[in-house]
Structure 1
Amino acid sequence: MSENGPYNQPPQNPYGGDGTGGQPPYGQPQGAPYGDAATGGQPGYGQGPYPGAPGQDQGMYAGGQPPYGPGPGGPGGPPGYPPVPPPQQGGGGSKAGLWVVMGGGVVIVILVIAVVVMLVTNGSGDGGEEIAAGPDETSEAPEAEPVEEEPAEEEPVAGGALGDPPHALPTEPCESFTEQIQTDFDLRDSGRKYVSDNSSSCSGLGELPDNNSGDGFGSLEIAYKLPYSASDSPEAASEDLNYTLERIRGEHDSDRYEADDVEVDEELDLGSESYLLVTRSERLGDRLPEATVLLRQDNVVITVTYYLDTTRGGREDLELSDDVQEIMLNAGNEALAALAG
């Protein structure tokens, strides 16, 4: 038996070292049949697969092909554990998403601010146009307003703005004794007041008119009264006024007034209803000259009484001044104005 086997076969190089197609052993360079690019051979292990790096070891841990075929678990290889996936960086994706959300929020806020600024700017622009147009719209107003306001300013002559009834009594009745009243009746002072639950009055003394001689005085009283039966009732106040009017006219059985003494009895245009009477009244046995204005404003009755008197003889010779009706009318206006004030 030969050294090549029991079958007396010629010696063979199992790795084809003689160029007959065998492969060289590991660690030896390949022959021409496998290493020559012209013959289409593949490089063996231990030789670099790329030109320019001959003899470079491409082991499985240096990026080359494993020496025994596909690795465990791969296609065509023995079964085994699947390859472990590469580790992923934890938290990187979540941080990036957070920055994206925050950036989107900032953009939305900027857009909202821009819209608000645009609306405010447009609104102020419209307002400016309205202000600019204002004088054109109101330029015609001054022509109509004075017509409505002027009558309201003239009303104080007839009592002013009294408001809605019922009216209360004035707490300062002597405000009706204005400077003009003190001059008209030649009063010596600004009067003395008297105030109770149902009446309020102011009275004062003055000099005799110039058409009288001797010593004497004139007495002026302005009194405000509420009806006893119903203090807030205009009807009750009207009944009280009519009773006093009939009494001064001498229509009641009384020694104070007589119908034959009435010289003036006329209706005035003051308040709700009003009258002026000039007559004589009995005082201490003598009949003295007297002028009266009876005035009602809603639930209040106003009485302005002026008479002359003397402490000495000749009381029957006293006479009122020629302008008594004028000054009495003016006193009625001032009394009504004091009620409004």
Structure 2
Amino acid sequence: MNIEPFREKSKEIKETLTYLGFNQDYSFAQIGSKTGYKLIKTSTLEKLETKETDYSIEMFSTLYSSSLIIIRSEDGLKLNVLRRKKRKENKNENEKENENENENEKEEEEEKEEEEGDDLICSLEFEEPIISIKQNCKYLVVCTENKICVYLFEDLTRGCHRTFNVKSSNGAIALSSSERSYLAYSEKNGDITVRSLDDDQVIKNFNAHQSAVLRISISQNGSLLASVSIVGKNVRVFDLDNPKERPILFEFVRGKSQATAYGLCFSHDGGYLALTSDRGTGHIFCLQKTSRFSGVFLSVGSFAKIKLKKKVPAICAFSPQSPDQIFVLSSSGTLSIYKMDLKKGGECKNLKSIEI
């Protein structure tokens, strides 16, 4: 999420931060700033890498835990595809005990690593600003205001593999894992199109909301799609395996007042859905129907909630290892882990927070 458009909305946004994101399986937190980027391992909150640049990083993406990284240029018209030079392995326990004695040596190593830049694989140029980027192991998808360009990772230098003329002022797109490679985007006001990139076939095309779609998320296995509109009162979940024209499964109520959704994501098992908004609360919805019911669950509230410390842009993600743990990456400058009671729900407990 590019933070710059929201900066005037809140004075509590950390001045140096420009971008917040997670990688595809939520194992990395991605932080962009006016002077570079940072990667943090979500399971331990350990800083994996910090890279300084002479320009602001307002959008970037890593491919799972690989060394591949994609950075948007400061003017928004170019993507640089790079291979990160990974940091050296962490010192063992005995060396850590002598950390103070080796302070100078460590500083010299870090300075040497900073001097070594990432390896440029290629650059992709565009005629209009890039709004959002998505990737899986097969494809790189780039969304501009009037076009979606799809590239094959195996041959990026050959140019755009497929192009879809789609107007998307807010960059509302989602890409599933390479197992299915479903691309979802909003082509018309409130409508969502789901397309298979492998065979270029439209899987679904349905009306999701009465107003413009703001956020879209696809579950890890590609079977579920969630969306929220610019109104932000309701979150809807659709079954992509259902042959119905409008295969709605759930409609969840975030609240009665209008809100701007910042983050929307499924848990790895597809059993929960998390949403963060400008109302200062994170909502977690339970996606488990019982055999006694069929059809749509209407007007269902959240199963659990997260009270965010500040009403600033924040995004969320579920732990790959523990479905009861949720990460919240806040533009106030913190990364937090919350724990949810899987039986009772209710308010989530803050386990740990670090400054980013």
Answer with 1 or 2: which has the greater Rg. 1
Is this a same-fold pair by TM over 0.5? Answer: no
Pick the structure with more strand per residue. 2
Larger RCO, structures 1/2 (Cα 8 Å, 6+ apart): 1
